[in-house]
Amino acid sequence: MTIKLFCFGESGNAYKAALALELSGLAWKPEFVDFFNGATRSQEYRSEVNEMGEAPVLVDGDVRLSQSGVIQQYVSDRSGKFGGQGDERYEVLRWVLWDNHKLSSQAGMTRFLMNFLPEDRRSSDVISFMQGRLKSAFQVLETHLQGRNWIVGDSLTNADLSCCGYLYYPEPFSFERSDWPNIDTWLTRISELPGWKHPYDLMPGSPKDRA
């Protein structure tokens, strides 16, 4: 049975799940969620897809999951990939949780405020505050990647797939790869893996569709 992933191209959280599925070798297909026209806020979506009004959502037969980290773990359980070995599993989980709270949450909000919110509703004070928090997160990741190919262990794991989620997007949100050489090298390493795709190539939906 083919796994369905309810997603849209602009979502870094959806990208984490989609990239995990794509690199795992599991059969899957994207189901477009028209987020910017309010799809996730509709009663139909909340009753038929996800009661929390979230994307991404994975559907595999009777299994229905939201939250990118949970979906990544499901992909690992199904495919045997990306979960880490032995006690490394806890270190992988530690970085997934760190990313969800300290990196992706800040990156997603900052990118949304700077690019997708109408200009007259953008607060420079809020954006500056978020950029400061992001800089701290980037520094943590940059320092950790010194002398390492991967965040945990010697191969790609959900730690990498989670932390890279927002970092391939072209829209400005205070992340310049050239400012962070270890992160830049690591992102290149991931993008050179067989099967890797840019988020706008992997999932339906991009800003140009609404231009």
Where does residue 173 rank: exposed (0-12), middle (13-18), buried (19+ CB within 10 A)?
buried
Pairing of strands 28-32, 57-60: unpaired
DSSP letters along 93-121, please? HHHHHHIIIIIHHHHHHHHHHHHTS-GGG
166 lies in the same domain as 71: no
CATH number of the domain where residue 53 is located: 3.40.30.10
Instruction: Record the pTM.
Output: 0.96
36 lies in the same domain as 101: no
71 lies in the same domain as 123: no
What's the pLDDT score for residue 94?
98
53 lies in the same domain as 133: no
CB 56 within 8 A of CB 5: yes
Q: Which of 193, 169, 172 is nearest to 110 (CA)?
A: 172
Q: How far apart are CA 13 and CA 140, in angstroms?
A: 20
* Strand stretches in 157-201, DSSP E: none
Pairing of strands 3-7, 28-32: parallel
Residue 176 lies in a domain: yes
Q: How far apart are CA 182 and CA 178, in angstroms?
A: 9
* Contact residues for 105 (Cβ-Cβ < 8 A; gap 6+): none
67: domain range? Answer: 3-82+196-203
97 lies in the same domain as 72: no
56: preceding bond cis by omega (within 30 degrees): yes
Residue 210 lies in a domain: no
Residue 164 lies in a domain: yes
180 lies in the same domain as 98: yes
111 lies in the same domain as 129: yes
Residue 208 lies in a domain: no
CB 119 within 8 A of CB 157: no
The CA distances from residue 116 to 12, 77, 145, in Å, are 14, 35, 31
Per the rule left: phi > 0, alpha: psi between -120 and 50, beta: everything else, 84 is left
Number of domains observed in the structure of the chain: 2
96 lies in the same domain as 179: yes
* Strand stretches in the chain, DSSP E: 3-7, 28-32, 57-60, 63-66
What's the pLDDT score for residue 1?
82
* Contact residues for 167 (Cβ-Cβ < 8 A; gap 6+): 107, 175, 177, 183, 187
pLDDT tens, residue order, the chain (211 aa): 899 999 999 999 999 999 999 999 999 999 999 999 999 999 999 999 999 999 999 999 999 999 999 999 999 999 999 999 999 999 999 999 999 999 999 999 999 999 999 999 999 999 999 999 999 999 999 999 999 999 999 999 999 999 999 999 999 999 999 999 999 999 999 999 999 999 999 999 999 998 7
Residue 169 lies in a domain: yes
CATH number of the domain where residue 97 is located: 1.20.1050.10
93 lies in the same domain as 171: yes
Residue 211 lies in a domain: no
Residue 24 lies in a domain: yes
